[in-house]
Amino acid sequence: MHIRRVPFDHPDAVKLNDAVQAEYHVRYGDGGDSTVLAPSDFEPPNGVYLLVYDEADRPVATGGWRSQDANGEGNEDGDAELKRMYVIDDMRGRGLARRLLTALEVDARAAGRIRMVLETGTKQPEAIALYTSCGYEPCGKFGYYREYEDSRCFAKKLSS
> 6 and 50 in contact (C-beta within 8 Å)?
yes
Question: Which pLDDT does position 159 carry in this prediction?
Answer: 81
| pLDDT at residue 160 is higher than 70 | no
> 19 and 61 in contact (C-beta within 8 Å)?
no
**Residue ranges of the domains in the chain?**
2-157
> 127 and 134 in contact (C-beta within 8 Å)?
no
User: What global pTM score does this model have?
Assistant: 0.94
| 2-157 CATH | 3.40.630.30
Question: Which pLDDT does position 15 carry in this prediction?
Answer: 97
Per the DSSP assignment, residues forming a β-bridge with 117 are: 81, 155
Per the DSSP assignment, residues forming a β-bridge with 63 are: 50
Helix (H) or strand (E) holding 96: helix 96-110
pLDDT tens digits, one per residue of 57-86: 999 999 999 999 998 888 889 999 999 999
**Rounded mean pLDDT of 123-136?**
96
What are the phi and psi torsion angles at 62 (to 5°)?
-145, 155
Alpha-helix residue ranges (DSSP H) falling in 29-110: 96-110
Per the DSSP assignment, residues forming a β-bridge with 48 are: 65
Of 63, 135, 47, 48, give the one whose Cα is nearest residue 96: 63
